Structure 1
Amino acid sequence: MPPFLPLQVIKGVGPKRAVILAEAGIRSIADLYDCFPRRYLDRTTIKKIGALRDGETVTVVGSVTGTRFEGGGRGGSRFKAQITDGSGVLELTWFRGVHYFSKTIRSGELVAAHGRVTFFGRTPGMQHPDFDKLGGDDESGDGQRDDELYKTGAIIPIYPTTEAMKQAGLNSAALRRIVHRAFREHPLRITEYLSPEIIAANNLMPIGEAYRQLHFPDSAEQLERARYRMKWSELFFAQLFFALRRTEERRHLTSVRFERSGEKTASLHERLPFTMTSAQKQAVREIYHDLKSGRQMNRLLQGDVGSGKTLVAQFAMTLAVDNGLQAAFMAPTEILAFQHYAGLKNSLEPLGIRVALLTGRQKKKEREEKLARLERGEIDIAVGTHAIIEAGVQFRRLGLVIIDEQHRFGVLQRKALQEKAENPHVLLMTATPIPRTLTMGIYGDLDVSIIAEMPAGRKPIQTRLCCEAEKPELYRLLRKQIAEGRQAYIVYPLVEESEKIDLKAATESYEQLRREVFPELRLGLIHGQLPAAEKEAVMAEFRSGRLDILVGTTVIEVGVDVPNATIMVIEHAERFGISQLHQLRGRVGRGEHASSCFLVYTKLTGDAKDRLQAMAATGDGFRLSEIDLQIRGAGNMLGREQSGAASGLRIADLLTDGDIMRAARAAAFELIRRDETLTHPENALIRDYYMTHFRKRISLADVG
């Protein structure tokens, strides 16, 4: 591959375009070859306008028959274009970029539009579709026009473009012509970096052919093989990192060995007032096996809201105390830390286990006294917020670190807690279920325990969407439930960017509810700006039943457990993410009575509509997490980003490429099993490619 040849050696790339392409990460011909199409137009997959159905996402190819402006005034204009393929007319609408599209789209041009179909009367339309001009001029010099390629049934690559590229005339069609010239004038030369054995065993297309087929597919089958090769290779090298690190850790990172299950562990089991689920028992067995192995445990305990993860953690901490070690339990909020502290104190102190709470708002004298006891080993389990990772916190013999709701902490915070001792055992917990394929991608070297079973007696929660006009009926239902002895939550959003405004709105809404809507009921208010003592006082009132309705912000998202609360009302639900909505819903349905969750919205469009409809359709956290990932993106599996499109992968998709992930993972771990340091001669190319292209990209994957 000619990696150092600048793009300006290609006709059509002048100095201005070269700068714009460089801003998009395309600085050389090698970068151009690595600019993979984001999708393809294939005659067999393009849908006729006359056959479109409301709500489907499709690609349509047609000629522009007319354009027009609508509206006017500040922010009110829109641009529309009508296209036809002979079977009907499709109307395309843009509310943003009106000036750009009005200059770009001309009558008579052949275009491809990709988006969601919405019918207005009998006319189908798309709002803000992905839009590509297929061109018509033979600018490539190969004797074929784009419209002729389409008519002959060729597969046309559609390349990703930025707004700046489009402004410079570098739309997908222009980029396609530049790639074509690059391949013709500077033929691809790339050395195969996988061994013949791996290529044969996994039926992979040679790398040079894969590049050619990605850009110029001969057929749908060849394109699929090329995409498989590229995805497989990318996932293979990502998993190779996890395999190498796991081998290294198991060779060098020894941890204290838990020698025995003692009296306290046996007593905890005997005192349980119920039978553990089989999934909980299996998780405890897996954790015990790790703790007794002598190797550092790095395990993710994953389960839906209310599946009983905390009990599993209690058994792990009790085993640590039985072996003369301390445990640290870190939670993301003071309310959740106190909730865990109260639960652990109630369950474990009768066994002789000493539990203490550490938060950032404790008085200096109280905090210093606890820190001294912790350093002397007079505290067995320290429960706290991020205050537990501060420099002055010292343990006498820390053996186990448990991090609850681990996705709420940054990787650097989690690393700081792990460094409080030399290679402590680490248990990460999350009540936000992650699809199994994504778990392998993000936590590729962690052992994973999944609690996919709910405790006996848990009733499903009925979830309903409500518009503002339906609130009187909602309040009537709420009063009826409270008259029958139940309790309720009403939650308001608190978004970081507008926290002060949101908090003021929540406080004002509480006063209105207390004075005008429910004057006969007992209401309490809780939010993150209240002092810790006041927050706990309000929670104690609600837990005891002396409050009928708890009004609050998302501080009650996790950890609040009041079995008598059966109604959750979430105001402005369209402003919440799926994970938050699912967590909030999980605060009810914890007792013997049927429970309901009402998602109150003011406006329901786009992603918000998809989120709320998904919440109403299922209570399965794993299914909801898949939908959430489709909306938000997967996060960076090899770095700091924990959500969004920056997954660290260029072509593979962690959500949809599960089968490829499993095949690549198996090959990577088997290779490292046979050659732990990649020093065998036949693996030299793999080692060199990994060190050059992947090792530099990996920053903080070692802390999950």
Structure 2
Amino acid sequence: MAMCEQGTFQSTKLNTFKNILEQELDSGFDDSVVIGGVDAFIDRWKIELSSGLGELPCYSKLSKPKRKLWISSILKKISEANVGQHLNKTNSKSLNNKANKIQKKSTKLTDSVYQIEGMTRRNISESELAKLNINNINDLLYFVPNRHNDFGDIRKVSDLQDGQDQTIMANVWEGSVKKIRPRLWSIKVIVGDDSGNVSCNWFRHGYKKPYLLSAFKPGTKLVISGKTSLFAGRITFQSPEYELVNESADSLVHTSGLVPVYPITEGITQRRIRTVVKKAVDSMADEVNDHLPNHLKKELKFMNLSSAIKNIHYPDSILQYNEARRRLAFDEFFVLQLAVLMRKLSLKTENHFLDLNIDLNKINGFIDLLPFKLTDSQNLVIEEILHDLNSQVVMNRLLQGDVGSGKTVVALVAMLALVFDGYQVALMAPTEILAQQHYATLSRLLSSGHIIEREENYIVLKLPDFDKTITMGILIGSMKQSAKKIIVEKLNQKEINIIVGTHALIQDDVNIPNMGLAVVDEQHRFGVEQRSILRKKSDNPHMLAMSATPIPRSLNLTVYGDLDISILNELPQGRKEIKTRFINDEDRFKAYEFTRQQVEKGRQAFVLCPLIEESEVLQTKAATEEYEKLVSDIYPEFNVGLLHGRMKLIEKDEVMIQFQNHDIDILVCTPVIEVGIDIPNASVMIIDGADRFGLAQLHQIRGRVGRGQFQSYCILIADAPSENAQFRLKLLEGSNDGFELAEEDLKLRGPGDYLGTRQSGLPNFKVAQISDFEILHQAREAASKLLIRDPKLQHKDNFDLSKLVIGYEERLYSDIN
């Protein structure tokens, strides 16, 4: 054994002996701390102990007063030996610090993780790093924990309670390993303190005998942390975290204080990733470049960046962790806000824009022809849109409106403003059924005009007081090639003024040469790139995005931070709030009877079958079975229809026409009706298996009723829903406010699930959460102020920040540019 290793080994045994003797002092010198007594420990390590402490007596033969005197003298000797060790280590540490400084100067944050001193592929392999999306040292520093376990509260063994996360400091008494089946080993270690013993158990897979037991030699002092459980009537630790107590160590990485818990994947343990991250933080955290302007750090009372990185991993207190998190979350929001605000600024300052001549008389004349009065909210949003169109900037606006708030008529007014001035306009919807619904709705809204020609896929009409005809067409994937060809040719020849369609509009062979406005409905269901392709069908047209999914304000500032926002927050006159009720499965027949009463009054109803995400086939089967049950057992006197996703488009259309014409009283369906179906006479929506749907989705589905003059009802049926599901259903029962429900849904599901697509442009935050609205608002305000002073971040103080924003913006908008 090398001299240095021998000294360290001897020091470890001395300190273990010291811990035993200190416990003897506490226990009254009754020689019960070590199994077999103190003499057993002395005999086992006689050479190592006597070389540092001299000849040792037989402890069991000493009286208690003599034991007290002898222990005091031995503890004094061990203390003096440790001082000498400490001086040697201090000199060694000084040399190590110098070496670390030299290493840090040559190692960059963009270097491989293996450039960190002491980091090898035995710690963690390249494939394991790749699983965690860690490509360099910087990624490792920002690989932040999900949470921290608080191991600061060390208990006695006798105080352990069943089923809790707890921490003890104890000595190893004995250990054993047993093969319980091929490739599975059980490791059992008995540890104890002066209050009692406890068993710790681990399981390991593999052909070879696990090496874990070698860490648990008798007499070793450990900190054990984990959840306890009862086994054969006794409290045990099952697979706890552990760490050897080394008096010379600066800290206990895995079991001391606030210990990080990281988002790992299969094959990587918390213990390993903690060790790897700790190496990176200790050696490289001080090398990060703090890009935040000093005045901002001072104004918002932020800790510096290196301190924030250290404290996000290993804080001394919850307060320090919260401050570190506040700083790092702000950084992410701040860079995002600079990126989206700079993009918004660049869009508004683009040289090319349409020189429009908006004819307000014609627009007001069309509004007067509508068979209903617009709400104050609709009038206000129309003013905002017309102001954009009249200004010398390209419109980039998001129109939000709850279900049934009247977005389509607002969009039509905007489209006609362009059509009256000779431009083409396009409306793109995410599904064929929704595109067809829009085409039908626009046709109905334009019905005040004189129809000159009506074909299967286009209509030509003339509005009063407008001297030109207007041609509106539809283009969807399921149309016959011959029909598509006609529409594509008419678009290219500028003969179609308004085109409604799906993704078919962005195919290579489709041109809309004179498009002045692109309207995208349910825009979050399209990728950023798809919206961009539509825009490129012409020369920098105005853009109006629409969403019937109310968007929380936090997402407005992040995902949609470069858009101007308009909100429709009123229902059209005569609409009544939908009454919603949550019932258990045993009350199902009460819901069926209530529906019967409504249908007998002349109303219609939806019965929505449970969501089965795993299989559309299973979902179709469930809908078919429900349909057959309702037809034969529940409603033999009514006309019951069936609509599901596996039906051909022509079959779906036939069913919808029958339902719209009231040839069907009750429609059994799958979630295909979430958007795009408008049946004003429908007054009941039964949602079966309501606990399987998200809050926003339930609100969307509920919005299929309540679209006429009649009081409408939504009945939510759930069989033994979870606590979380019950909370969602009670929220829906108590509120018809889509924006309020959207905020709650965002908290429950998170932004990725809420938006339902990774193409939405949602940033991949490491620390920040969309729910951190106060930090987000601070970042927005700080970014706005900075860009007023330095719009292009060209000042030398903002140079590092500018590089960060450029890199971030390239990632965020790569598919646009």
TM-score grouping bracket, smaller chain normalisation: 0.7 to 0.9
5 Å matches for 1:378-527?
Answer: 378-493=495-610, 497-527=614-644
Deviations 1:381-412 (A, max 9, x none): 11122222223322241111111111222333
Paired residue for 1:194, among 274, 292, 314? 292
Q: Does 1:298 align with 2:298?
A: no
Aligned counterparts of 2:695 and 2:624: Cα–Cα separation in 1: 24
Q: 1:513 to 1:38 in 2, by over 3 A?
A: same
Q: Does 1:40 align with 2:148?
A: yes
Q: 1:396 to 1:360 in 2, by over 3 A?
A: same
5 Å matches for 1:640-679?
Answer: 641-642=758-759, 647-654=763-770, 656-679=771-794
Map of 2:226 onto structure 1:
111
Map of 1:210 onto structure 2:
308
CA contact 1:287–1:316 (8 Å) conserved in 2: yes
Map of 2:697 onto structure 1:
580
What is the CA-CA distance between 1:438 and the residue it aligns to?
Answer: 1.3
What is the CA-CA distance between 1:606 and the residue it aligns to?
Answer: 6.4
Aligned counterparts of 2:246 and 2:591: Cα–Cα separation in 1: 63
Q: Does 1:164 align with 2:164?
A: no
CA contact 1:639–1:648 (8 Å) conserved in 2: no
5 Å matches for 1:341-352?
Answer: 341-349=439-447, 350=449, 351=463
Q: 1:212 to 1:598 in 2, by over 3 A?
A: same
Amino acid at match of 1:164: G
Deviations 1:294-343 (A, max 9, x none): 32111111111111111211110111112111111112222222222122
Map of 1:698 onto structure 2:
812
What is the CA-CA distance between 1:12 and the residue it aligns to?
Answer: 8.2
Deviations 1:573-601 (A, max 9, x none): 33333332211100112223222112233
Amino acid at match of 1:135: Y
Q: 1:15 to 1:641 in 2, by over 3 A?
A: same
Q: 1:643 to 1:262 in 2, by over 3 A?
A: closer
CA contact 1:411–1:640 (8 Å) conserved in 2: no
Paired residue for 1:558, among 630, 655, 675? 675
1:15 aligned counterpart, secondary structure: coil
Aligned counterparts of 2:374 and 2:532: Cα–Cα separation in 1: 32
Aligned counterparts of 1:313 and 1:701: Cα–Cα separation in 2: 26
What is the CA-CA distance between 1:647 and the residue it aligns to?
Answer: 4.2
2:764 aligned counterpart, secondary structure: coil
Aligned counterparts of 1:316 and 1:528: Cα–Cα separation in 2: 33
Aligned counterparts of 2:650 and 2:756: Cα–Cα separation in 1: 38
What is the CA-CA distance between 1:610 and the residue it aligns to?
Answer: 4.5
Q: 1:387 to 1:625 in 2, by over 3 A?
A: same
Q: Does 1:311 align with 2:409?
A: yes
Paired residue for 1:612, among 729, 743, 751? 729
5 Å matches for 1:327-366?
Answer: 327-349=425-447, 350=449, 351=463, 353-366=470-483
2:446 aligned counterpart, secondary structure: helix
State the identity as a percent: 38
1:355 aligned counterpart, secondary structure: strand
Amino acid at match of 1:142: A
Deviations 1:102-129 (A, max 9, x none): x99x99943269xxxxxxxxxxxxxxxx
Aligned counterparts of 2:520 and 2:248: Cα–Cα separation in 1: 61
What is the CA-CA distance between 1:148 and the residue it aligns to?
Answer: 8.3
Map of 1:243 onto structure 2:
341
Map of 1:51 onto structure 2:
none
CA contact 2:427–2:518 (8 Å) conserved in 1: yes
What is the CA-CA distance between 1:345 and the residue it aligns to?
Answer: 1.4
5 Å matches for 1:92-241?
Answer: 109-111=224-226, 133=240, 135-138=242-245, 141-142=248-249, 144-145=251-252, 149-150=256-257, 155-166=258-269, 170-171=270-271, 175-176=273-274, 178-184=276-282, 188-241=286-339
2:356 aligned counterpart, secondary structure: coil
CA contact 1:257–1:295 (8 Å) conserved in 2: no
1:259 aligned counterpart, secondary structure: coil
1:401 aligned counterpart, secondary structure: strand
Bigger mean CA deviation after superposition, 368-377 or 445-454: 368-377
Paired residue for 1:628, among 727, 745, 765? 745
What is the CA-CA distance between 1:287 and the residue it aligns to?
Answer: 0.9
CA contact 1:640–1:699 (8 Å) conserved in 2: no
What is the CA-CA distance between 1:477 and the residue it aligns to?
Answer: 1.2
Aligned counterparts of 1:253 and 1:511: Cα–Cα separation in 2: 62
Q: 1:526 to 1:22 in 2, by over 3 A?
A: closer
Q: Does 1:62 align with 2:148?
A: no
Aligned counterparts of 1:45 and 1:304: Cα–Cα separation in 2: 50
Aligned counterparts of 1:471 and 1:9: Cα–Cα separation in 2: 64
Deviations 1:542-589 (A, max 9, x none): 223232112222232213222221111123333333332211100112
1:429 aligned counterpart, secondary structure: strand
Amino acid at match of 1:61: D
CA contact 1:300–1:448 (8 Å) conserved in 2: yes
CA contact 1:524–1:538 (8 Å) conserved in 2: yes
Gaps of 5+ in 1: 47-58, 65-96, 114-130
Gaps of 5+ in 2: 1-103, 155-162, 169-202, 217-221, 229-237, 450-462, 464-468
Q: Does 1:15 align with 2:118?
A: no
Deviations 1:421-469 (A, max 9, x none): 1111111101111110111100111111122232333322222334443
1:635 aligned counterpart, secondary structure: helix
Q: 1:485 to 1:145 in 2, by over 3 A?
A: same
Map of 1:25 onto structure 2:
133
Map of 1:683 onto structure 2:
798
Q: 1:140 to 1:254 in 2, by over 3 A?
A: farther
Aligned counterparts of 2:342 and 2:248: Cα–Cα separation in 1: 48
Amino acid at match of 2:419: V
Q: Does 1:288 align with 2:386?
A: yes
Amino acid at match of 1:237: V
Bigger mean CA deviation after superposition, 339-348 or 25-34: 25-34
1:164 aligned counterpart, secondary structure: coil
Aligned counterparts of 2:365 and 2:263: Cα–Cα separation in 1: 61
CA contact 1:403–1:427 (8 Å) conserved in 2: yes
What is the CA-CA distance between 1:138 and the residue it aligns to?
Answer: 2.7
CA contact 1:375–1:395 (8 Å) conserved in 2: yes
Deviations 1:358-386 (A, max 9, x none): 22223344333333333333322111222
CA RMSD of aligned residues (A): 3.6
What is the CA-CA distance between 1:642 and the residue it aligns to?
Answer: 4.8
Q: 1:189 to 1:387 in 2, by over 3 A?
A: closer
Q: Does 1:596 align with 2:694?
A: no
Q: 1:112 to 1:210 in 2, by over 3 A?
A: farther
Greater Cα radius of gyration, structure 1 or 2: 2
What is the CA-CA distance between 1:27 and the residue it aligns to?
Answer: 5.4
The count of residues paired between Structure 1 and Structure 2 equals 627
1:394 aligned counterpart, secondary structure: coil
Bigger mean CA deviation after superposition, 20-29 or 454-463: 20-29
Aligned counterparts of 1:342 and 1:181: Cα–Cα separation in 2: 64
Map of 1:122 onto structure 2:
none
Q: 1:639 to 1:298 in 2, by over 3 A?
A: farther
Q: 1:176 to 1:10 in 2, by over 3 A?
A: farther
Amino acid at match of 2:514: R
Aligned counterparts of 1:45 and 1:484: Cα–Cα separation in 2: 67
What is the CA-CA distance between 1:496 and the residue it aligns to?
Answer: 6.5
Aligned counterparts of 1:597 and 1:140: Cα–Cα separation in 2: 66
Aligned counterparts of 1:140 and 1:293: Cα–Cα separation in 2: 72
What is the CA-CA distance between 1:213 and the residue it aligns to?
Answer: 2.9
